């Protein structure tokens, strides 16, 4: 199945056009022509089975059927401080999208080494992962903001911060979270959260949790949190 | 903490020598000298706290204390077909070691695109990940063999094969496995298992399980299986 992403398509549309880039991909790389079938997703749960009606610099298609997938019965939002090495963050985004995630919010912590993140490349990776795993939901991606600004804006009802407090036993995320929730998990930078950030988060109702006894890299911890919440709801 | 790996060191040793490469790393990169402390692991659960007694082309150290970590109460062995793109396999090894894994066995399936895998680079990545996550256990890594040869050699008491049979509901791994087991999970190549491979595995007592409803890449499925078994035992 050849899956394309077109956020502007709606279930009311009987036909549409591929972007220039997708048209090139369809005609040159995939060598598709008039009459061939493609799938198009709007990233909002709909997959449109389509037939190509013009194979050109701009391909046109006709919608044949729509398959709608409801959202998951729980939602996972990971708020993560971008790693110094961008590859590691891109890898996390690819895997998190493959496994199903609703939202990724980036933040800059007081101990963050990386203080700037461009979303453009991250978005491309997310789209590719969504298509690769044949999903119809595109997660929401948020620009990096300071953690102090992010914390008060998090409205998910189950809020966690991955941090192992010294001399205090923290519960594993998979035991602390309850099924069917709307989850938000904060994952700190390589330099960890500052004391004042931890205090702000706990005051805002974030529960400290552990992801296991090993010291994990930022991106491994972020993916581990996704997985724990997915498994809790399996 | 500066952690070095030295599989030949034993708890009976009161002193030892770093390899040439580690000596260079200690003196040139880390700029360590006589009297500085380092940690050395044997990869078999022991971490030796040491003091450098000679900082040279070959550094010498004296053992000050030994910290022994018992093995986990369960064991995870992932048997995976190497991906065409080696980066993806290396990534899996890095993450699996960070999260804790006992053994990784590579196999070549009938539909494998990659039919050769050199362990040397994989071993280096595993050692680096073990040190990065401050662990004292080095997982066992097995050379790639044909799947038909691997299957009869697997002796773990809980055996699974990640495969979604058509029209038959398979249980998620995290529900199918029981805690405190010795687990082995087979993860197929990009081209999936062949029908005869599936038959051979099920006849050998491997249970078909799913890792979730999404179509996962080989390396994502392999890591997902690790995580499921870790979470089951948290």
For A136, nearest residue in chain B (alpha carbons): B214
Nearest to A224 by CA among A157, A154, A172, A189: A172
pLDDT band (50, 70, 90) for residue A51: very high
Nearest to B130 by CA among B51, B202, B44: B44
Render pLDDT for A27-39 as a digit per residue (tens, 0 to 9).
999 999 999 999 9
| Residue A212, pLDDT above cutoff 90 | no
pLDDT band (50, 70, 90) for residue B168: confident
CB contact under 8 Å between B212 and A99, yes or no, is yes
Partner A contacted by B196 (CB < 8 A): no
Nearest to A106 by CA among A81, A131, A137, A73: A81
pLDDT band (50, 70, 90) for residue B17: very high
**Minimum-distance CB partner of B224 among A212, A215, A227:** A227
Q: Provide the pLDDT for residue B111.
A: 95
End-to-end CA distance of chain A: 27
Average pLDDT, chain A: 95
Nearest to A231 by CA among B93, B230, B88: B230
Chain B contact probe: residue of A69, A76, A97, A234 with most B CBs at under 10 A = A234
Q: Which residues of A touch B87 (CB under 8 A)?
A: none
List, in order of start, the domains of chain B with CATH numbers: 3-68 (2.40.240.20), 75-232 (3.40.1280.10)
- Whole-angstrom distance, CA of residue A87 vs CA of residue A77: 20
Q: Which residues contact A168 (CB under 8 A, 6 or more apart)?
A: A208
| Residue A233, pLDDT above cutoff 90 | yes
Average pLDDT over residues A63-89: 96
- Whole-angstrom distance, CA of residue A230 vs CA of residue A217: 20
Measure in Å the smallest separation between the Cα of A63 and chain B Cα atoms. Answer: 24
Q: Is the dihedral of CA B203, B206, B211, B212 positive or negative?
A: positive
For B94, nearest residue in chain A (alpha carbons): A220
Partner A contacted by B223 (CB < 8 A): yes
| Residue A4, pLDDT above cutoff 90 | yes
Q: Which residues of A touch B39 (CB under 8 A)?
A: none
Partner A contacted by B41 (CB < 8 A): no
| Residue A145, pLDDT above cutoff 80 | yes
Please report, rounded to a whole number, the percentage of residues in chain A having pLDDT higher than 70: 100
Measure in Å the smallest separation between the Cα of A56 and chain B Cα atoms. Answer: 31
- Whole-angstrom distance, CA of residue B154 vs CA of residue A77: 38
Residues in chain B: 234
Q: Provide the pLDDT for residue A74.
A: 97
- Cβ atoms of B223 and B129 closer than 8 Å: no
**Minimum-distance CB partner of B95 among A175, A220, A230:** A220
Render pLDDT for B37-93 as a digit per residue (tens, 0 to 9).
999 999 999 999 999 999 989 999 999 999 999 999 999 999 999 999 999 999 999
| Residue B169, pLDDT above cutoff 80 | no
Average pLDDT, chain B: 95
Interface list for A 111-130 with B (CB within 8 A):
none
| Residue B138, pLDDT above cutoff 90 | yes
**Minimum-distance CB partner of B231 among A132, A214, A231:** A231
3-state secondary structure at position A185: strand
Chain A contact probe: residue of B93, B227, B228 with most A CBs at under 10 A = B227
Average pLDDT over residues B219-225: 96
- Cβ atoms of A161 and A173 closer than 8 Å: no
Q: Which residues of A touch B70 (CB under 8 A)?
A: none
CB contact under 8 Å between A224 and B227, yes or no, is yes
pLDDT band (50, 70, 90) for residue A152: very high
Q: Which residues of A touch B91 (CB under 8 A)?
A: 91
CB contact under 8 Å between A224 and B220, yes or no, is no
Q: Provide the pLDDT for residue A144.
A: 96
Q: Provide the pLDDT for residue B224.
A: 96
Q: Which residues of A touch B174 (CB under 8 A)?
A: 231, 234
- Whole-angstrom distance, CA of residue A33 vs CA of residue A56: 9
- Whole-angstrom distance, CA of residue B48 vs CA of residue B96: 24
3-state secondary structure at position A74: coil
- Cβ atoms of A99 and B211 closer than 8 Å: no
- Whole-angstrom distance, CA of residue A76 vs CA of residue A86: 22
CB contact under 8 Å between B231 and A234, yes or no, is no
- Cβ atoms of A156 and A225 closer than 8 Å: no
**Minimum-distance CB partner of A174 among B98, B172, B234:** B234
Q: Provide the pLDDT for residue B207.
A: 95
CB contact under 8 Å between B234 and A175, yes or no, is yes
Q: Provide the pLDDT for residue B164.
A: 79
Q: Provide the pLDDT for residue A46.
A: 97
- Whole-angstrom distance, CA of residue A171 vs CA of residue A208: 8
Q: State the alpha helices, DSSP H only, in chain B.
A: 20-24, 86-99, 119-132, 147-150, 173-176, 195-203, 218-232
Q: Provide the pLDDT for residue A111.
A: 94
**Minimum-distance CB partner of A234 among B91, B99, B172:** B172
DSSP bridge partners of A4: A40
Nearest to A165 by CA among A208, A128, A199, A124: A208
Render pLDDT for B184-206 as a digit per residue (tens, 0 to 9).
999 999 889 999 999 999 999 99
Average pLDDT over residues A120-142: 95
Please report, rounded to a whole number, the percentage of residues in chain A having pLDDT higher than 90: 90
| Residue A167, pLDDT above cutoff 80 | no
- Whole-angstrom distance, CA of residue A135 vs CA of residue A121: 19
Q: How many CB atoms lie within 10 A of CB A198?
A: 18
Q: Provide the pLDDT for residue B218.
A: 95
Average pLDDT over residues A152-162: 97
| Residue A215, pLDDT above cutoff 90 | no
Q: Provide the pLDDT for residue B85.
A: 93
- Whole-angstrom distance, CA of residue A23 vs CA of residue A57: 6
The secondary structure element, H or E, covering residue A97 is helix A86-99
Partner A contacted by B203 (CB < 8 A): no
């Amino acid at each position: 199945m050849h899956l394309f992403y077109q956020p502007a398509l709606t279930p009311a549309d009987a036909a549409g056009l591929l972007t220039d880039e997708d048209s090139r991909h369809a005609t040159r790389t995939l060598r598709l022509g008039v009459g061939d079938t493609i799938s198009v997703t709007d990233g909002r749960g709909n997959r449109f089975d389509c037939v190509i009606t013009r194979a050109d610099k701009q391909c046109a298609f006709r919608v044949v059927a729509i398959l709608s997938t409801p959202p998951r019965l729980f939602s996972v939002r990971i708020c993560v401080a971008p790693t110094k090495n961008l590859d590691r963050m891109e890898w996390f985004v690819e895997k998190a999208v493959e496994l199903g995630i609703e939202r990724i919010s980036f933040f800059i912590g007081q101990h963050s080494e990386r203080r700037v993140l461009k979303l453009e490349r991250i978005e491309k990776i997310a789209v590719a992962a969504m298509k690769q795993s044949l999903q119809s939901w595109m997660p929401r991606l948020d620009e990096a903001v300071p953690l102090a600004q992010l914390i008060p804006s998090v409205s998910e009802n189950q809020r966690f911060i991955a941090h192992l407090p010294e001399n205090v036993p923290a519960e594993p995320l998979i035991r602390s979270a309850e099924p069917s929730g709307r989850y938000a998990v904060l994952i700190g930078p390589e330099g960890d959260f500052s004391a004042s950030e931890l205090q702000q988060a706990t005051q805002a109702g974030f529960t400290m949790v552990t992801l296991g006894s090993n010291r994990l890299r930022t991106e491994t911890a972020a993916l581990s949190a996704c997985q724990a919440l997915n498994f809790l709801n399996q």
